[in-house]
Amino acid sequence: MPGLDDLYQQLILDHYRRPRHRGTLSEPTIEVDQQNPLCGDELHITVRIVDDQITEIAHAGEGCSISQSSASMMSDAVVGHSVADALAMIEHFRRVMHGEIVADETILGDAIALEGVAKYPVRIKCALLSWMALKDGLINGTPTAQEDQ
Amino acid sequence: MPGLDDLYQQLILDHYRRPRHRGTLSEPTIEVDQQNPLCGDELHITVRIVDDQITEIAHAGEGCSISQSSASMMSDAVVGHSVADALAMIEHFRRVMHGEIVADETILGDAIALEGVAKYPVRIKCALLSWMALKDGLINGTPTAQEDQ
Amino acid sequence: MTHAALINPLRVRQDFSLLAPTEGGARLVYLDSAATSQKPNAVLEAMDDYYRCANANVHRGVYRLAQEATERFEDGRRAVAELVAAPLAGTIFTKNATEAINLVAWAWGLRTLRPNDVVMVTEMEHHSGIVPWQIVAKMTGAEVRFAPITPDGELDHEWIDHTLASAPVRMVSIVHVSNVLGTVNPVADIVARAHAHGALVLVDASQSVPHMPVSFAGIGCDFMAFTGHKMLGPTGIGVLVGRPEILDGMEPFLGGGEMIADVRTDGSDWADLPNKFEAGTPPIAESVGLGAACIYLSSLGLDAVRAHEVHLTTYALDALSEIDGLRIFGPRDPARRGGALSFHLPDLHPHDIAQLVDEDNVCVRAGHHCAKPLMRALGVNATARASTYIYNDTDDIDALVTALHRARAYFAR
Amino acid sequence: MTHAALINPLRVRQDFSLLAPTEGGARLVYLDSAATSQKPNAVLEAMDDYYRCANANVHRGVYRLAQEATERFEDGRRAVAELVAAPLAGTIFTKNATEAINLVAWAWGLRTLRPNDVVMVTEMEHHSGIVPWQIVAKMTGAEVRFAPITPDGELDHEWIDHTLASAPVRMVSIVHVSNVLGTVNPVADIVARAHAHGALVLVDASQSVPHMPVSFAGIGCDFMAFTGHKMLGPTGIGVLVGRPEILDGMEPFLGGGEMIADVRTDGSDWADLPNKFEAGTPPIAESVGLGAACIYLSSLGLDAVRAHEVHLTTYALDALSEIDGLRIFGPRDPARRGGALSFHLPDLHPHDIAQLVDEDNVCVRAGHHCAKPLMRALGVNATARASTYIYNDTDDIDALVTALHRARAYFAR
Ligand SMILES: Cc1ncc(COP(=O)(O)O)c(C=O)c1O
Ligand SMILES: Cc1ncc(COP(=O)(O)O)c(C=O)c1O
């Protein structure tokens, strides 16, 4: 399906089939639940922060290939970074999804593979779900009902 | 305006310009106010009934040529008749207006001139206003908010 | 009216521009009519002709154009009332089925419900049959109780009878045909049981009126809601049918033009039915379009429409069952269900299914279908849903099956 | 945007099928645009194209057709928001202006008003700006007070200021341009005064948005309501603009699909703006049509539209004043009024006027124009009303004057 190869890149399918950082941390610093209002998918993110560094992160819950692989790539990207760096990455990713800027691989890592999602407006919410959950968690320590789009 | 000659018959204009039974009876047996919800015109009808006979009737208020002439013709038609006869006339007139039967001049008198109104759905309410007011008065002694159409 | 003729989808498709083959010969396999139907040319032409030849505001205009507009508008109402055997005075236009249910919740419920009164809904309701009651319950202190579903996607009738007998149920608000499970609920039967306990019944007929003969009088319910855009009609119009005796005793809902007999600075009087519940300029062109849709449906024959649905559903249940691991929700007997087929593939999320089969021009819906309590009861977040209508044929089902196989293969690459 | 070009009604009429001359050369003199406007081809074609090429339900569909439908639907919203300088998140589609005002009355008023709170309306409001407040006042114990009009058809601003200063006014609900008198109210000024006393302001812009540049931001009000069918758009759609901060803090109105973030059996969460206030399938094709109408209006230029209205009103005021005994209601200065011209002839009832001039293909409205409190203040039951728009020219006014003379002569026969 050549039309969809841009959306479903091998790297995405790979993260979907073998998600990194899958699970739930015990005694996390931050814990967030986020729902995709479009399809009802639920995501559970746990983060451990030590000295303002994200030392560990895990994601659980069900979702489509895009939301699951995105959670996996996001976790890969932010782990080991400071909270401020993670927030900057999230903002970068959000703007990429909204087609405002071109993705920077040095910032996003594998998540650069999600750039093609920007062309599928309905799926942007799927890709953003985990990033917005983390953002809420980092800022509020609590989830919000909706991603800010 | 040949198209309208059927609606605005000379007899109608005559009753409009020189309404019969215009005014308000003092100490009426029945008194009814009726409004035309289409245009806000208000009609005030007073009736005197003696031994089940309509001995006097009067109509006051503002209205269009159709509603005013109709009130005049209606008053002409029912005066001197029994309540039961008047109700039968009203029902006959109502059915004429709704195109269900052909008008009978022996029943309606001058009001037969209003037969052409049946072709103008919006004006039917105007023609019926006084008749429905009288009907309400005869049945309830009180007005209702709307004519039953 | 019985119609010997069956539906000929090939013939029917000629009336739908969107379903015509493209130059390359591809055509859209539209399997999302439970979300909204496509519109036949007759409906679009009726609306266009209204705007081009008869457009004026209705009800009060003396001039001929306004009379013509009023007649076409009211003809639409008559066609709707005839289609579902509803009293004309109780046939009220709303903007969609959702407003129709809200009208009852706000105009009847808010002024009638008392603390601890019970409104019974079901786990298989569309959100539009749930949220209005939750809002009004919160304001009145009433309670919303959900009739559970059985594992095979039917209502738990024992629970219903037990609750009717033991709780102060004032209203039963229930879907006729589920937009997710396809379940056809025995509404006439439920009405009789609810009435025996003094409860009113609102039937959400959004998924039944387009697809089968439905009689308001026959069901015997107090209110019935449905929506224009799912029954070949335009967006922007829905219908509430109510028993005139009940509507007459109710306070109005929206206030404004058209619904009044008199407005004074110290208060107002209401117009007669149905205008009392139609505030403001009504959906005029939409009534004209919906009227044309009703006539189109009647000319096909609702019995034939339903027979076609059963035929396609039978075929689809068989064809989909062949797919490895595919799970179908709802009743197995095609005679007991409507045309909405929800399913799950173990290795493909509904979103990905919908995205991938779209590549083969197959349109199916993915998500919670505005039925989250049902999703929870089924233990899933979302399903994929294929739903058929008069323009679909077995080729369309085959196309879906092929596309599902291709989607699987693609993801396994 | 300023447009040097004036409106050329002859050119404009080519876009309106209903206004084309018949074979005999006669044409419709449509002077009832205050009731509803005619629709340009561009609007009808946009809707038709939507149904024929992009029809699907919006928001949740993954497949491309549903995305296309969603885009066209949201493009309509964007066009509306741009036209009136409104925040996109606060631009809510309703079924008409009446529902828009009711939304505020029920969602804000019912949950906020307390006994003895005052809602200020005016004697020149349309019923849609009165009855919703009366209904909600009755339920909350609040009071509706009517700002009186002066003999020349302006608002009594002293009364307004005195009441704002002395009574607990929580809401001022006020018409921008009167549909009977034509009066253009100084709404930005009233907003400033009301805000100074802590009252919110809803502006009914049903008769202004179609006819002149209107800026939600510029007026500074909290809510603004208008309606699609009077501004070249279709029936079945209206608009409520609200300040997002206020809308965010409000409980929802209609409940159902689209307006939720989550629905549970024990309660629900609401979606973000504007969806929170748009329950059920929205008026999709109608948004497409209204968007096309906004673009059509912008391309003419609202300044030019307004200049044309002032030009025609000036001409009409002069021409009608020539008629013996004719009484015109509302301000005399064309710069201070809109295009609705209500009048009385001593010897001809409005109903008869409308009937008789229709014989000459002139469409005017007769009645109380959904403004009975105003009729009482003016001391009449009904008026005849001629109202102009972009497709009218001075020939149309001449046709009206000639028809009025003929009507008089006919009745004197
Ligand atoms: C000033 C005013 N407000 C409100 C309305 C109501 O508009 P709608 O009937 O489209 O709701 C109208 C139109 O009749 C109007 O002129
Ligand atoms: C069963 C059921 N009820 C109600 C609705 C709501 O219809 P609408 O969105 O037109 O108000 C739908 C459609 O989504 C439905 O399937």
Alpha helices of C121-264 — where are they, by DSSP H?
131-140, 157-166, 187-196, 216-219, 244-249
> Domain total for chain C?
2
DSSP character at residue D208: T
Question: C262 vs B120: CB contact, 8 Å cut-off?
Answer: no
Structure confidence at residue A143 (pLDDT): 42
Q: End of a domain among C298, C313, C330? A: C298
Those of residues 46-105 in A touching chain C at CB distance below 8 A are: 62-66, 68
Stretch C184-190: mean pLDDT: 98
Report helix, strand or coil for D145: strand
Domain carrying residue C377: 3-30+301-412
Report the CATH number at residue C186. Answer: 3.40.640.10
Those of residues 57-96 in C touching chain D at CB distance below 8 A are: 57, 60-66, 94-96
Which of D151, D174, D206, D160 lies closest to D330 in space, CA to CA?
D151
D212 and D325, same domain (yes or no): no
- C280 close to ligand 1 (CB < 6 Angstrom): yes
Mean predicted lDDT score pLDDT of chain C = 96
CA dihedral C50, D235, C289, B38 (to 10 degrees): -70
Q: Is position C40 within any domain?
A: no
Give the C-alpha distances (Å, rounded to integers) separating C346 from A20, A127, C384, C408, D198. Answer: 21, 21, 12, 10, 58
Question: C352 vs A64: CB contact, 8 Å cut-off?
Answer: yes
B82 min Cα distance to partner chain C (Å): 30
Q: End of a domain among C262, C279, C298? A: C298
Chain D residue closest in CA terms to B39:
D367
D264 and D294, same domain (yes or no): yes
Candidate of D179, D206, D385 to mutate for ligand 1, largest count of ligand atoms within 8 Å of Cβ? D206
Would you kindly state where each structural domain of chain A is located, as residue ranges? 4-148
Structure confidence at residue C373 (pLDDT): 97
Ligand 2 atom closest to the CA of C230, numbered from 1:
10
- Tell me how far the alpha carbon of residue D173 lies from the centroid of ligand 1, in angstroms: 14
C145 and C220, same domain (yes or no): yes
Residues in chain D with pLDDT values less than 70: 1-4
Structure confidence at residue D25 (pLDDT): 84
Q: Is position D191 within any domain?
A: yes
Q: Is position D37 within any domain?
A: no
Q: Is position C384 within any domain?
A: yes
Burial category of C246 from C-beta neighbours within 10 Å (exposed 0-12, middle 13-18, buried 19 and up): middle
Residues of A in contact with C406 (CB under 8 A): 1
Question: C261 vs B145: CB contact, 8 Å cut-off?
Answer: yes
A42 min Cα distance to partner chain D (Å): 11
Residues in chain A: 149
Examine the pLDDT at B146 and tell me if it is beyond 70. no
- D13 close to ligand 1 (CB < 6 Angstrom): no
Burial category of D129 from C-beta neighbours within 10 Å (exposed 0-12, middle 13-18, buried 19 and up): buried
Question: B40 vs D368: CB contact, 8 Å cut-off?
Answer: yes
Ligand 1 atom closest to the CA of D230, numbered from 1:
10
- Tell me how far the alpha carbon of residue C255 lies from the centroid of ligand 1, in angstroms: 12
Q: How many CB pairs under 8 A join A and C?
A: 53
Of B10, B40, B66, the CB nearest to D375: B40
Q: Measured between alpha carbons, how far is A79 from A96 in angstroms, rounded to an integer?
A: 20
Q: What's the distance, CA A29 to chain centroid?
A: 18
- C128 close to ligand 2 (CB < 6 Angstrom): yes
> Hey, which residues does D366 pair with through a beta bridge?
D384
Q: Measured between alpha carbons, how far is B74 from D34 in angstroms, rounded to an integer?
A: 36
Asked if residues D289 and D46 have their Cβ atoms less than 8 Å apart, the reply is yes
Of the listed ranges B38-42, C157-161, D99-103, D378-382, the least confidently predicted one is B38-42
Going by their DSSP bridges, the two strands C267-270 and C260-264 should be labelled as antiparallel
- Tell me how far the alpha carbon of residue C33 lies from the centroid of ligand 2, in angstroms: 12
Report the CATH number at residue C383. Answer: 3.90.1150.10
Question: C56 vs D367: CB contact, 8 Å cut-off?
Answer: no
Give the C-alpha distances (Å, rounded to integers) separating D391 from C411, D12, D127, D291, D379. Answer: 58, 6, 28, 20, 33
Chains near D (3 or more Cβ pairs under 8 Å): A, B, C
- Testing the interface with C: which of D146, D254, D290, D376 to mutate, by most C Cβ within 10 A? D254
Those of residues 101-130 in D touching chain C at CB distance below 8 A are: 101-102, 105-106, 123, 126-130
Q: End of a domain among D298, D323, D344? A: D298
- D370 close to ligand 1 (CB < 6 Angstrom): yes
Question: A39 vs C366: CB contact, 8 Å cut-off?
Answer: yes
pLDDT digits (tens, 9 = 90+) for B71-126: 999 999 999 999 999 999 999 999 999 999 999 999 999 999 999 999 998 899 99
Stretch C223-246: mean pLDDT: 98
Question: D406 vs B123: CB contact, 8 Å cut-off?
Answer: no
Structure confidence at residue D5 (pLDDT): 74
Six-digit token string for D191? 């907003």
Six-digit token string for D196? 């100074």
Question: B37 vs C67: CB contact, 8 Å cut-off?
Answer: no
Q: Is position D36 within any domain?
A: no
Which of B106, B111, B47 lies closest to B80 in space, CA to CA?
B47
Structure confidence at residue D24 (pLDDT): 86
Stretch C243-264: mean pLDDT: 96
Q: Does D264 touch chain B (CB under 8 A)?
A: no
Structure confidence at residue C4 (pLDDT): 52
D394 and D274, same domain (yes or no): no
D354 and D231, same domain (yes or no): no
Going by their DSSP bridges, the two strands D383-387 and D365-367 should be labelled as antiparallel
Protein residue with least CA distance to atom 7, ligand 2:
C97
| CATH code at B4-148 | 3.90.1010.10
- C257 close to ligand 1 (CB < 6 Angstrom): yes
Structure confidence at residue C253 (pLDDT): 97
Structure confidence at residue D96 (pLDDT): 98
Q: Is position D230 within any domain?
A: yes
pLDDT digits (tens, 9 = 90+) for C111-151: 999 999 999 999 999 999 999 999 999 999 999 999 999 99
Six-digit token string for D410? 């006919």
- The pLDDT > 90 percentage for chain A reads 83
Phi, psi of B58 (to 5 degrees): -145, 150
Q: Name residues whose C-beta falls within 8 Å of residue D357's C-beta, 6 or more positions apart in sequence.
A: C63, D364, D400, D403, D404, D407
User: Binning pLDDT at 50, 70 and 90, where does residue A60 land?
Assistant: very high
Structure confidence at residue C2 (pLDDT): 47
Q: Is position D35 within any domain?
A: no
Residues of D in contact with B41 (CB under 8 A): 349, 381-382
D403 and D314, same domain (yes or no): yes
Instruction: Show which residues of C are catalytic.
Output: 370
pLDDT digits (tens, 9 = 90+) for C266-285: 999 999 999 999 999 999 99
User: Binning pLDDT at 50, 70 and 90, where does residue A2 land?
Assistant: confident
D194 and D207, same domain (yes or no): yes
Residues of A in contact with D262 (CB under 8 A): 35, 37, 145
Ligand 2 atom closest to the CA of C178, numbered from 1:
1
Q: Does D355 touch chain B (CB under 8 A)?
A: yes
Of C60, C66, C272, the CB nearest to B146: C272
D51 and D162, same domain (yes or no): yes
Structure confidence at residue D4 (pLDDT): 52
Stretch C180-184: mean pLDDT: 98
* Order of strands across the sheet that contains C327-328: C327-328, C340-344, C383-387, C365-367
Question: C48 vs D52: CB contact, 8 Å cut-off?
Answer: no
Structure confidence at residue D362 (pLDDT): 98
Q: Measured between alpha carbons, how far is B86 from A24 in angstroms, rounded to an integer?
A: 87
Q: Does C202 touch chain D (CB under 8 A)?
A: no
